[in-house]
Amino acid sequence: MIKLKQIAEMAGVSPATVSNVLNGRKNVGEEVRRKVLELCRQTGYQPAARVHKGGQPRTVVFNFSDFDRSFYLNIIKGISECLTENNYDLIVCTSRSSRNFMKSRFSAGAISLDGKISDEQLLAVAQDGYPVVVMDRVLENESIKSVVVDNYPVMCELVQKLILKGYQRFGYVGGTERSLDNIERFAAVESTLRANNLPFDKKYYFHGDYREKSGYQAAKLMLLGNALPQVLVCANDNMALGAMRAFKERGLEIPGDIAVTGFDDCDAAALMGLTTVSIPRYENGYLAAKELLNLIEGAAADEPFKISASVCWRETA
């Protein structure tokens, strides 16, 4: 059976343009519209969305992979409120089930914050003009919009202020190695130290997975060595809180014996006095939903939308 992508190639336009024609959107010229519809007639192509009674589905899918991270709740709240204002429904799912929902027969588009879904899977979903907003990576496709945290400048600011406070020996607990967040956050640590002629000793780099347990284990490994860094920068709050628990079990004072910082500003961070980077998660979700609705209405994806963050100084550093 012929696919939308083939119709686009024959018409000399993008899959998104074909999708806009088939969904009756007004952002396509009349000549292109007629050409696409004539090709559909000649080839017998029937778009999946036409099987829906009442027209295009008004359901959006949000998929994510980690139920332990509390900030998802604020993201979901922002997404839900934006969609509700625009008369769309929301379905929340995980990577295992998302393939069943990220289809034009079922939903109008998807928002993805799931490291378990590969770039190839997302690009394949979008190849027929299915709109997708990604919140954990940058992908180049006119049906995919990236809405990501602007990690680098705020992490540079955090590390520079720590240096000005007198810290010179830094440790780092990273998240998932290939995640954009971890890559950008560690790059900021290294470059800021380098700009201040301070080395980063690789023995103080520990791998984590953004969960509290991995931060706890990293700190336990650190305690087995003969020397601790002066400050431990963690790629998120959960790992920072896990590391703090391990240090306190050993009787260490924070920040007296070792300072600790996080990233996210989850609810527990404030309770524990954790110095961290605050990300407006509700606004992050709301803007992701807004960008998706723009794609659904026929706008082509442009440059990534970067969410600003700010350092929140508390007692741990």
CATH number of the domain to which 270 belongs: 3.40.50.2300
Check whether 316 has a pLDDT greater than 90: yes
d(CA 38, CA 78): 41
Q: For 283, phi and psi rounded to 5 degrees?
A: -65, -35
- pLDDT, one tens digit per residue, over 184-195 is 999 999 999 999
Instruction: Kindly state whether residues 216 and 157 are assigned to the same domain.
Output: yes
Instruction: Kindly state whether residues 141 and 288 are assigned to the same domain.
Output: yes
pLDDT value at residue 95: 67
Task: Order the strands of the 59-64 sheet from edge to edge.
Answer: 89-93, 59-64, 109-113, 132-134, 144-149, 305-307
pLDDT value at residue 132: 95
pLDDT value at residue 159: 98
Identify whether the C-beta of residue 300 lies closer than 8 Å to the C-beta of residue 138: no
Give the residue with greater pLDDT, 260 vs 91.
Answer: 260
Instruction: Kindly state whether residues 256 and 295 are assigned to the same domain.
Output: no
**229 located within any domain:** yes
Confidence band of 26 (pLDDT split at 50, 70, 90)? low
Supply the mean pLDDT for the chain.
88
Instruction: Kindly state whether residues 86 and 165 are assigned to the same domain.
Output: no
Confidence band of 30 (pLDDT split at 50, 70, 90)? confident
Residue range 190-205: average pLDDT?
96
pLDDT value at residue 53: 40
pLDDT value at residue 149: 95
Sign of the torsion formed by the C-alpha atoms of 205, 209, 210 and 214: negative
Instruction: Kindly state whether residues 114 and 221 are assigned to the same domain.
Output: no
Instruction: Kindly state whether residues 241 and 213 are assigned to the same domain.
Output: yes
pLDDT value at residue 22: 67
Report which DSSP code applies to 165: T
Give the DSSP H/E element, type plus range, for residue 307: strand 305-307
Tokens of 19: 């999708």
Q: Which of 178, 172, 182, 113 has its CA nearest to residue 152?
A: 182
Confidence band of 50 (pLDDT split at 50, 70, 90)? very low
Instruction: Kindly state whether residues 184 and 42 are assigned to the same domain.
Output: no
Task: Order the strands of the 205-207 sheet from edge to edge.
Answer: 205-207, 170-174, 231-234, 259-261
Q: For 51, phi and psi rounded to 5 degrees?
A: -75, -10
**312 located within any domain:** no
d(CA 88, CA 291): 14
Q: Which of 252, 223, 288 has its CA nearest to residue 88?
A: 288
| Helix runs in 225-296, H state only | 237-249, 267-271, 281-296
**315 located within any domain:** no
pLDDT value at residue 51: 37
For 125, residues 6+ apart whose C-beta sits below 8 A from its C-beta are: 102, 110, 132
Instruction: Kindly state whether residues 221 and 297 are assigned to the same domain.
Output: no
Whole-model pTM?
A: 0.79
For 246, residues 6+ apart whose C-beta sits below 8 A from its C-beta are: 215, 216, 217, 219, 220, 223
Dump strand ranges (E) for 119-204: 132-134, 144-149, 170-174
Instruction: Kindly state whether residues 161 and 115 are assigned to the same domain.
Output: no
Which bin fits 309, alpha (ψ -120 to 50), beta or left (φ > 0)? beta
- pLDDT, one tens digit per residue, over 143-187 is 999 999 999 999 999 999 999 999 999 999 999 888 899 999 999
Instruction: Kindly state whether residues 78 and 122 are assigned to the same domain.
Output: yes
**14 located within any domain:** yes
**317 located within any domain:** no
**94 located within any domain:** yes
Q: For 274, phi and psi rounded to 5 degrees?
A: -80, 125
pLDDT value at residue 286: 95
How many domains are there within the chain? 3
Instruction: Kindly state whether residues 179 and 98 are assigned to the same domain.
Output: no
CATH number of the domain to which 42 belongs: 1.10.260.40
| Full domain range(s) for residue 191 | 151-278
Check whether 278 has a pLDDT greater than 90: yes
Instruction: Kindly state whether residues 260 and 144 are assigned to the same domain.
Output: no
Q: Is 65 helix (H, G, I), strand (E, B) or coil?
A: coil
pLDDT value at residue 79: 93
Return the percentage of the chain with pLDDT > 70, whole number.
91
Residue range 44-48: average pLDDT?
60
Cβ-in-10-Å burial (0-12, 13-18, 19+) of 107 comes to buried
**311 located within any domain:** no
**232 located within any domain:** yes
